[in-house]
Amino acid sequence: MAKIGDIDVGDFPLLLAPMEDVSDPPFRALCKEQGADVVYTEFISSEGLIRDAAKSTMKLDIYEKERPVGIQIFGAVMESMLKSVEIVEASGPDIIDINFGCPVKKVVSKGAGAGILKDIDLMVKLTEAMVKHTKLPVTVKTRLGWDHDSIRIVEVAERLQDVGCAAISIHGRTRAQMYKGDANWHPIAEVKNNPRMHIPVFGNGDVNTPERAVEMRDKFGLDGAMIGRASIGYPWFFKEVKHYIATGEKCKPPTLEERIEAARRHLQMSIDWKGEKLGVFETRRHYTNYFRGIPHFKEYRMKLVTSDHSEDVFAALHLIEKEFAGYEFT
């Protein structure tokens, strides 16, 4: 049984990764319904929080049905990070997560996200200060290192644990790799097999089939899997992994009707939470995966991803339901 602080998160928990413009409350709700054990918010800028920037503070919205839920923040300035901890704590999450892994240039250029992998001492100092500044468990998400020549993740994980980090999620790529190439889980296993480590070690990167999740557990010995891109437009991935772990067999994929219903709910929840314009726009990225596998679908996909008004998207979903009735996914 893995525990984050005093929170039991189950035997080999599945965690929804924090993903910008993806891991919002509507999508988290869908993933939770399908078996995600822990969900994390989109990453939130500490500087944005202390300036009360609308986009940042909106991301603090969490709901009881999501628990346990973690709010993830990023930054590289001690004062700003500690102030943001106070703001985040007031929102009532179960976990505070620090993003030491985002590879995008606009984050890294400020020394935050994966940029802090160039300054491990600062990484440790920030973590220690944040642990001391809150009663909530503090976790870290990071990468193997800045590049292939600077992979020190075993040492880094041990030092983070020693200053109070409650769990660590490790993406099996360096910052230099971005999202290219294959994720390397071997260094993550080295972290887990370090006899000094006692906190949960979760793996992230390329967990894109139930078989891969089981491999992460059985071959690499990790405590859980953090799921990212495989869940976009496909919240059923969590259910499928759990079914495979329990039975050794794959469960049937969701039907067309189930996908249509989820897409409708997803869109409506998004509109209710962020308004018509953003709700329609930010749900577009999910439709390809919702209906992946349907032949001759390009015309319908274009309707979904180019319509600017929700009534047009709902109409397209109704048309898909009618035109492809009875289609069976394999």
**What is the rounded distance in angstroms from the CA atom of residue 100 to the CA atom of residue 94?**
19
**What is the rounded distance in angstroms from the CA atom of residue 131 to the CA atom of residue 82?**
10
Look at the alpha carbons of 225, 113, 284, 54 in this order and tell me if their dihedral is positive or negative.
Answer: positive
Exposure letters 204-238 (e unless 16+ CB within 10 A, then b):
bbbbeebebbbbbbeebebbbbbbbbbbbbbbbbb
Q: Which residues are the active-site residues? A: 102
Look at the alpha carbons of 207, 210, 215, 218 in this order and tell me if their dihedral is positive or negative.
Answer: positive
**What is the rounded distance in angstroms from the CA atom of residue 17 to the CA atom of residue 43?**
10
Joined together, the tokens standing for residue 183 give: 């994720």
Contact present, 225 and 203 (Cβ < 8 Å): yes
